[in-house]
Amino acid sequence: MTYRAAIIGLTGIAAGPAVPAPHTALGWRMPQNHAAAYALAPRTEIVAVCDIVPSMLEKFKQTWRDVWPNVNTYTDYREMLRHERLDMLSICTPDHLHADMVVAACEAGVKGILCEKPIATTLKDADRMIEAVERHGVLMSVDHTRRWQPEYHEAREMVRQGKLGQLTRLVVTMNGERAMLFRNGTHMIDMLVFFAESEPAWVIGMVDEPFKDYGPRYAGDGGHNPRTDPGALALIGFKNGVRAVYQGSQDTIAYSSLDIIGTTGRVHIGMQDHQMSVALRGPDGPYDLVYRDLSRSHPTRAGLLAVVEEMVDLMEKGGETVSPPREARWTLSILLGILQSAAQGGGRVAMPIQDV
């Protein structure tokens, strides 16, 4: 069967055009937006889109008229949910608007929801979303995109197999003007959750100096202006003993990386320098390290195409998504814990926390 899908919110990651590969024999580049992912997934069809700005609806129709010439357009997502019999829904609206749409989609009978990150900006909203998807039996993925990239799964398998010894430390860096804690820092904080495979136990956080009076709760504009979403530095402890560092400064040159550190090895994944390397203890003791580059595989699915295809597979076969909402809530609790700690002058905040 073909699954009927829709998108709410058509800016940014939602609806850009598909991009060909450098040679026709190579097909298409891995899609970097939801519409392009659905277009490359053979068993999905966009039947409707929604945006409060009419010009965005017209732009979508012009961009995708050769693929979905009969797409229906709406400016009210509730009207769309009433009139369309949807199997799948992508929610690509600003960060603080996800909750009502997820709940309404569950009540309307949508089977699979692809929600942009972070899951929400308050724990109350995240809990409403989790309650709705679990009560209605709906599948939900939160688009922490690195969870659908092969190198991170290869590195996690090394950890699980004990090739790095016991995992002790995780260090992530997300620097540059767009190092916004909620909009982009959520990707790196989520990688800490992904590799620790444990619930957070405590957080110590500081925000960049221009944000010193930011306060203990999210006060952004949904991900647009970097000066409404702070850069931050944090220490995070997990219940299984893993400790982590998040370094996300807006006042530095752009750079992102992940280091996974165990008792006998380390994996480094760099997003700007494209390094993916492992250092393992050599035969002559702890200071004898053997370095090598990790192989890079080229899977047939990655990124948002993998998000869509995974949802189709799970709707037919059952199972849990690689980015479930309960883990996304752990990520959100760390983000909010950083703000609450910073508002207290950098004191240690114990989990679980509450909205303040």
CA distance 212 to 177: 17
Which position has the token pair 């053979």?
42
Nearest to 7 by CA among 303, 312, 15: 15
Within a 13 Å sphere around the CA of 42, how many CA atoms are in the beta-carbon half?
Answer: 1
The DSSP string of 154-203 is: HHHHHHHTTTTSSEEEEEEEEESTT--TTTTHHHHHHHHHHHH-S-EEEE
Are 151 and 296 in contact, with CB atoms under 8 Å apart?
yes
Q: CA angle at residue 36 from 225 to 154, to 5 degrees?
A: 85
Are 349 and 119 in contact, with CB atoms under 8 Å apart?
no
Domain 3-146+302-324 and domain 149-296+331-350 have a common topology: no
Mind listing the pLDDT tens digit of every residue in the chain (356 residues)?
Answer: 899 999 999 998 999 898 999 998 988 888 999 999 999 999 999 999 999 999 999 999 999 999 999 999 999 999 999 999 999 999 999 999 999 999 999 999 999 999 999 999 999 999 999 999 999 999 999 999 999 999 899 999 999 999 999 999 999 999 999 999 999 999 999 999 999 999 999 999 999 999 999 999 999 998 889 999 999 999 999 999 999 999 999 989 999 999 999 999 999 999 776 688 888 888 877 777 787 787 777 888 999 999 999 999 999 999 999 999 999 999 999 999 999 999 999 999 999 999 99
Helix (H, G, I), strand (E, B) or coil at 212: coil
Classify each residue of 170-200 as buried b or exposed e, where b means 16 or more C-beta atoms within 10 Å of its C-beta: bbbbbbbebbbbbbbbbbbbbbbbbbbebbb
Give residue 261's identity as a one-letter amino acid code.
I
CA distance 128 to 103: 7
CA–CA distances in Å: residue 69 to residues 60, 75, 77, 226, 286: 11, 18, 20, 37, 63
Are 147 and 250 in contact, with CB atoms under 8 Å apart?
no
Indicate the CATH number of 3-146+302-324 among 3.20.20.70, 3.40.50.10700, 1.10.3720.10, 3.40.50.720: 3.40.50.720
Q: What is this structure's pTM?
A: 0.95
Domain ranges of the chain: 3-146+302-324, 149-296+331-350
Superfamily of domain 149-296+331-350: Dihydrodipicolinate Reductase; domain 2 (3.30.360.10)
**180: phi then psi, degrees, rounded to nearest 5:** -85, 130
